Amino acid sequence: MFHDARFGLARHVTLPGPLRLDGGGELAQVEIAYETYGTLDAAGSNAVLICHALTGDQHVASTHPITGKPGWWARMVGAGQPIDPARHFIICANVLGSCMGSSGPASVDPAMGVPFAMRFPVITIRDMVRAQAMLLDHLGVGICRAVVGGSMGGMQVLQWAATFPERVQAAVVIASAARHSAQNIAFHEVGRQAIMADPNWRGGEYYRMDDPPAAGLAVARMAAHITYLSEAGLTEKFGRRLQARDAKSFGFDADFQVESYLRHQGISFVDRFDANSYLYITRAMDYFDLAEEHGGLLANAFRGTNTRFCIVSFDTDWLYPTSESRSIVHALNAAGAAVSFVELSSPFGHDAFLLDVPELNAVVDGFLKAGEA
Amino acid sequence: MFHDARFGLARHVTLPGPLRLDGGGELAQVEIAYETYGTLDAAGSNAVLICHALTGDQHVASTHPITGKPGWWARMVGAGQPIDPARHFIICANVLGSCMGSSGPASVDPAMGVPFAMRFPVITIRDMVRAQAMLLDHLGVGICRAVVGGSMGGMQVLQWAATFPERVQAAVVIASAARHSAQNIAFHEVGRQAIMADPNWRGGEYYRMDDPPAAGLAVARMAAHITYLSEAGLTEKFGRRLQARDAKSFGFDADFQVESYLRHQGISFVDRFDANSYLYITRAMDYFDLAEEHGGLLANAFRGTNTRFCIVSFDTDWLYPTSESRSIVHALNAAGAAVSFVELSSPFGHDAFLLDVPELNAVVDGFLKAGEA
């Protein structure tokens, strides 16, 4: 446990299991790396759980220990922001399957004394949420004032509301979906195949080598990164502009700025992420289909709920387009749940939930304060 | 020269050069593999040139020699089809840079006696068109009644109309664009990086090895293939349906039908295509910007033209969306050209130009016959 340079507390806990998993297996113990900001009030009523996206982590509002960059959601979480340690006890945990300290394929299998690698069990979004619930129990948090997340974080929020409705007063689901579409699965499969095609992947047994499957993971990241941006945003940011040279090279260097940008995204990603974790987390997302768990009808996931919902989409997000949010809203309406829904306009595509979109902060701030009044 | 099992003539010619290239280099000689269907009439007035797409070939209406599949555009070219050997002399040539018999990186460099590999010069769409013009000269075809193509084929059609306007009576541009967008370039760059990350690529020097960079090329094809389909089309065709198993495997096999389909697309592609050709042709497409060649104004490419244009887009094509076709139409209007434009409705995305869309055949048929009246 160390005190973060800003205001977070970075912690790690090993919780006794077993955690039974949707796939039939179990984890004998569950490691969770997490951060907290603020203080739980005497009534234990001010907890806000933040759920992170595919390649996110627990450093929601603290400097990332590897990249040195600010927390990934410092625009939303911090002093004077909608989620504020002055009034909230904020918790963000690295998801199960990831690589920033929580149990995942890079963790040492206690039974064998070596990293799990591909012996780590395939997990689901619900398994991630169950692990978070164990953490909240450990922290003495019964009910969350809000559970908040974007993208895969939003899937966890929906799963929280479906699995532990009595523990979620308010749910904020941003740029997300209640199931992965065929196109979503297809893009993830390209990424997985890129990793598994890299000879350095070695069936996942690369942890004791010096050469992880960096090239494959970089290609996976590049393909995914395109889906996070809008066509209009890419055109505005890069268009067909060339690199510093004044003319085309008539070669295969990165002539266009967008090529150089993408290569950088791929290369820098491999410094902070584990290829096997990428396989496991994309698989969990592909398996996600909240309706399927509830007899094929999404509304069934929310019947009788007292949770208030806030659903936000972005007009240029083609990864989880507004139509996906609208399906969630229809199901919530059918279930008689309290829901507010807004489609925000932004040029940034899916990535908008991480970027400077003042309307998003206004929406989340207003929704949370309405529940605290 | 051999007679095709159906009605095409598959031919190969080596034309004396030098062919000077946009990149500054030249080819001492140009090999062109092509097919023809029908007979050139006495007036030499009935030639129709078909331009193929990125991974297409000259086998437009004849059985593919490797896959054994029917010609890639047998729906458009053939007896009773809009382009009909009974009234047209139909020519389709493998583009420069490709791997089905025309000069490309797999060709033997006559100066060195070994395959060019990455010593093959980087080429442009205009270079492809110049090579086609050499072929037409060789065949005694001065003027084309029509030049027709979809996707990259449409780019060649536009380039033909801009570079050799007096040789093109009618131009049919389907599901195409006058320049490659940042997003288009980005997807191609992912494919190139996937190939070049494959250790079997060996800087392009794999021709005398038994193990070409198949895994990298398959990943490139998978990523590209997603862009050829619409989200709605993928959902309709596959949705979240599982393979023959009744339940998820909780592993990394292809659980979903869409995964299995994509893997098959990748694996079968490597049997018929050369990885280096994929690099060169995607590069040519990325470099394509017809306005740039004409002082930044697309209309300048067509001033004074007598060519009649037919521009077709598909409503679910997000690779070359209707907005790109509309830009072409605006430029043609500004140049005072005769142009008809239609956006067709189809669930198939970009691939619609290759599939069963009766309206497309009706549009092309009507447009060509209007010019033949």
Give the model confidence (pLDDT) of A182-195 as tens digits.
999 999 999 999 99
Chain B CB contacts of A250 below 8 Å: 22-25, 121-122
Structure tokens at B363: 């549009």
Please report the residues numbered 77 through 136 in chain A whose beta carbons come closer than 8 angstroms to any beta carbon of chain B: 118, 121-122
Determine, for residues B222 and A192 on separate chains, whether the beta-carbon distance falls below 8 Å.
Answer: no
Partners of B172 in the β-ladder: B148, B310
Burial A6-26 (b: 16+ CB within 10 A, else e): ebbebbebebeeebebbbebe
pLDDT of the residue at B9: 66
* Side-chain half-sphere CA neighbours of B149 within 13 A: 30
What is the mean pLDDT of the segment spanning A302-330?
98
- Give CATH 1.10.1740.110 domain extents, chain A: 185-281
What is the mean pLDDT of the segment spanning A50-76?
96
Tokens 């829901």 correspond to: A339
Check if B151 is active-site.
Answer: yes
pLDDT of the residue at B245: 66
Q: What percent of chain A has pLDDT over 70?
A: 97
Of the candidates A81, A66, A101, A102, which has an alpha carbon nearest to the alpha carbon of residue A7? A81
Measured between its terminal Cα atoms, the distance across chain B in Å is 35
Which comes out higher in pLDDT, residue B254 or A89? Answer: A89
Task: Report the residue from B25, B182, B199 with minimal CB separation from A199.
Answer: B199
Rounded to 5 degrees, what are φ and ψ at B37? Answer: -140, 140
What is the mean pLDDT of the segment spanning B122-129?
98
CA B69 to chain centre: 17
Partners of B314 in the β-ladder: B344
Measured between its terminal Cα atoms, the distance across chain A in Å is 35
d(CA A301, CA A324): 16
d(CA B128, CA B132): 6
Number of Cβ atoms within 10 Å of the Cβ of B14: 11
**Inter-chain Cβ pairs, chain A and chain B, closer than 8 A:** 155
- What is the ipTM score, two decimals? 0.94
- Give CATH 3.40.50.1820 domain extents, chain B: 2-179+290-372
Does position B244 have pLDDT exceeding 90, yes or no? no
* Side-chain half-sphere CA neighbours of A185 within 13 A: 27
Please report the residues numbered 311 through 340 in chain B whose beta carbons come closer than 8 angstroms to any beta carbon of chain A: 318
Determine, for residues B182 and A259 on separate chains, whether the beta-carbon distance falls below 8 Å.
Answer: no
d(CA A353, CA A342): 13
Task: Report the residue from B198, B216, B223 with minimal CB separation from A223.
Answer: B223
Structure tokens at B304: 């004074």
d(CA A67, CA A76): 20
pLDDT of the residue at A348: 95
**Shortest alpha-carbon distance between residue B77 and chain A (Å):** 32
Determine, for residues A180 and B218 on separate chains, whether the beta-carbon distance falls below 8 Å.
Answer: no
d(CA A332, CA B86): 61
Chain A CB contacts of B263 below 8 Å: 189, 193
Chain B CB contacts of A198 below 8 Å: 197
Task: Report the residue from A190, A192, A292 with minimal CB separation from B252.
Answer: A192
pLDDT of the residue at B86: 97
d(CA A316, CA B300): 32
> What CATH topology corresponds to A2-180+290-372?
Rossmann fold (3.40.50)
Does position B320 have pLDDT exceeding 70, yes or no? yes
d(CA A350, CA A314): 7
**Shortest alpha-carbon distance between residue A239 and chain B (Å):** 5
The pLDDT tens digits of the residues spanning B168-221 come to 999 999 999 999 999 999 999 999 999 999 999 999 999 998 999 999 999 999
pLDDT of the residue at B3: 38
- When scoring B27, B227, B250 by the number of chain A Cβ atoms within 10 A, the one with the most, hence best to mutate, is B250
For chain B, give the mean pLDDT.
Answer: 95
Chain A CB contacts of B25 below 8 Å: 250
Are residues B266 and A193 in contact, defined by beta-carbon separation less than 8 angstroms?
yes
For chain A, give the mean pLDDT.
Answer: 95
Interface contact B180, partner A, CB < 8 A: yes
What is the mean pLDDT of the segment spanning A24-29?
94
What is the architecture, at CATH level 2, of domain B2-179+290-372? 3-Layer(aba) Sandwich (3.40)
d(CA B229, CA B220): 15
Does position A7 have pLDDT exceeding 90, yes or no? no
pLDDT of the residue at B6: 39
The pLDDT tens digits of the residues spanning B20-34 come to 999 999 999 999 999
- Give CATH 3.40.50.1820 domain extents, chain A: 2-180+290-372
Chain B CB contacts of A24 below 8 Å: 250
Partners of B341 in the β-ladder: B311
Interface contact B183, partner A, CB < 8 A: yes
Partners of A108 in the β-ladder: A115
The pLDDT tens digits of the residues spanning A201-259 come to 999 999 998 999 999 999 999 999 999 999 999 999 999 999 876 789 999 999 999 99
Tell me the pLDDT band of A3, cut-offs 50, 70 and 90.
Answer: very low
Least confident of A63-67, A105-109, B148-152, B279-283: A63-67
Check if B41 is active-site.
Answer: no
Contacting residues for A34 by C-beta, under 8 A, at least 6 apart = A10, A11, A12, A13, A58, A91, A92, A93, A94, A135
Check if B64 is active-site.
Answer: no
Structure tokens at B219: 């990943």
Q: Among positive and negative, which fits the CA dihedral B65, B69, B70, B71?
A: negative
d(CA B352, CA B159): 22
Does position B350 have pLDDT exceeding 50, yes or no? yes
Specify the DSSP class assigned to residue B122.
Answer: P
Catalytic residue among A98, A103, A107, A151: A151
pLDDT of the residue at B8: 60
Please report the residues numbered 249 through 268 in chain A whose beta carbons come closer than 8 angstroms to any beta carbon of chain B: 250-252, 254-256, 258-259, 262-263, 266
Determine, for residues B196 and A252 on separate chains, whether the beta-carbon distance falls below 8 Å.
Answer: yes
Structure tokens at B257: 């039908």
Chain A CB contacts of B20 below 8 Å: none
Does position A106 have pLDDT exceeding 80, yes or no? yes
pLDDT of the residue at B259: 95
Task: Report the residue from A187, A238, A248 with minimal CB separation from B226.
Answer: A187
Out of 3.30.750.24, 3.30.420.40, 1.20.120.350, 1.10.1740.110, select the CATH number for domain A185-281.
Answer: 1.10.1740.110
DSSP H helix total and E strand total for chain A: 9, 11
Specify the DSSP class assigned to residue A83.
Answer: B
- When scoring A193, A263, A293 by the number of chain B Cβ atoms within 10 A, the one with the most, hence best to mutate, is A193
* Side-chain half-sphere CA neighbours of B29 within 13 A: 10
Does position B5 have pLDDT exceeding 70, yes or no? no
The pLDDT tens digits of the residues spanning B251-301 come to 999 999 999 999 999 999 999 999 999 999 999 999 999 999 999 999 999
Number of Cβ atoms within 10 Å of the Cβ of A372: 13
